């Protein structure tokens, strides 16, 4: 399932599903006001959505190109990021492969949608970008064993980790350079985990003005999803 937050010009944002035919169905008739309620509803919500889509009239949908896509999860409870986590990037940069994940965060005010502008701050001279693979937690928890990671991951989406490098490197703490408003574009949709056969074999790239400036694969992750779920949940509640 491809889950979106969308709106029609002049109308409020709502949760929706993008079908293989590139149509968008609102989930309001199925009883879901936003994507967070869908995620928290787990498989019960998924069954309700599947039942709704089976009987929904196609005329109730709109063409994907007519929808304004917003951040799939507009206000996530936590945005936890892992730095220096691609082996090929570390080797190219001649950096030591970390033995422990480097963790930082972004505030939810940094989250924005796939077509929204990134507002570059006037007090920074070193903006930067990184295409990232985002993991969306469904069932929360603490002290989750790596072997059970799949019970807690709801799905995946793209994220642009925008940085202000001068702010980031001003101290040993990266937060100020990572969490300017609009510094985390996401989308265009959240793909549920059941549709991704192997999250550790996905191509990821960044193209700007037709030029490919970043290209890798999640097989190059130093710390994979199971390890990170276990490590992070040993310290705080994943949600």
Contact 61, 23 (CB under 8 A): yes
**DSSP conformation class of 118:** P
* Amino acid 45: pLDDT: 97
* pLDDT greater than 90 at residue 10: no
Strands of the chain (E only): list them. 2-7, 14-18, 23-26, 62-63, 68-70, 80-83, 102-105, 111-112, 127-128, 131-137, 153-160, 163-164, 184-185, 190-192, 203-208, 211-217
Name residue 203's beta-bridge partners.
217
**Per-residue pLDDT tens for 23-51?**
999 999 999 999 999 999 999 999 999 99
Residue-level length of the chain? 239
Assign 231 a pLDDT band (cuts: 50, 70, 90): very high
**Per-residue pLDDT tens for 65-82?**
999 999 999 999 999 999
pTM exceeding 0.85? yes
Domains and CATH numbers, the chain: 2-70 (no CATH), 80-233 (3.90.850.10)
Kindly list the distances between the CA atom of residue 215 and the CA atoms of 8, 61, 224, 236, in Å, as whole numbers in the listed order: 34, 35, 18, 32
Contact 183, 109 (CB under 8 A): no
């Amino acid at each position: 399932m491809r889950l979106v937050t969308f709106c029609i010009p002049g109308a409020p944002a709502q949760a929706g599903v993008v079908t293989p035919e590139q149509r968008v169905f609102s989930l309001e008739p199925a009883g879901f006001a936003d994507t967070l309620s869908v995620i928290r509803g787990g498989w019960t919500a998924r069954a309700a959505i599947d039942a709704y889509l089976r009987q929904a009239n196609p005329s109730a949908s709109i063409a994907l190109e007519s929808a304004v896509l917003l951040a799939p999860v507009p206000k996530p409870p936590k945005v936890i990021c892992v730095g220096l986590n691609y082996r090929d990037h570390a080797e190219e940069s001649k950096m030591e492969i970390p033995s422990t994940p480097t963790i930082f965060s972004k505030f939810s005010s940094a989250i924005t949608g796939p077509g929204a502008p990134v507002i570059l701050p006037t007090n920074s001279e070193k903006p930067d970008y990184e295409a990232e693979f985002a993991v969306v937690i469904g069932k929360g928890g603490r002290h989750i064993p790596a072997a059970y990671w799949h019970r807690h991951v709801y799905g995946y989406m793209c994220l642009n980790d925008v940085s202000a490098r001068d702010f980031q490197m001003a101290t040993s703490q990266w937060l100020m350079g990572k969490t300017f408003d609009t510094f985390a574009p996401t989308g265009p949709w959240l793909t549920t985990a059941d549709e991704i056969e192997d999250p550790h074999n996905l191509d990821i790239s960044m193209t700007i003005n037709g030029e490919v400036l970043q290209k890798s694969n999640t097989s190059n992750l130093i710390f994979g999803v199971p390890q990170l779920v276990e490590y992070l949940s040993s310290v705080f509640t994943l949600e």
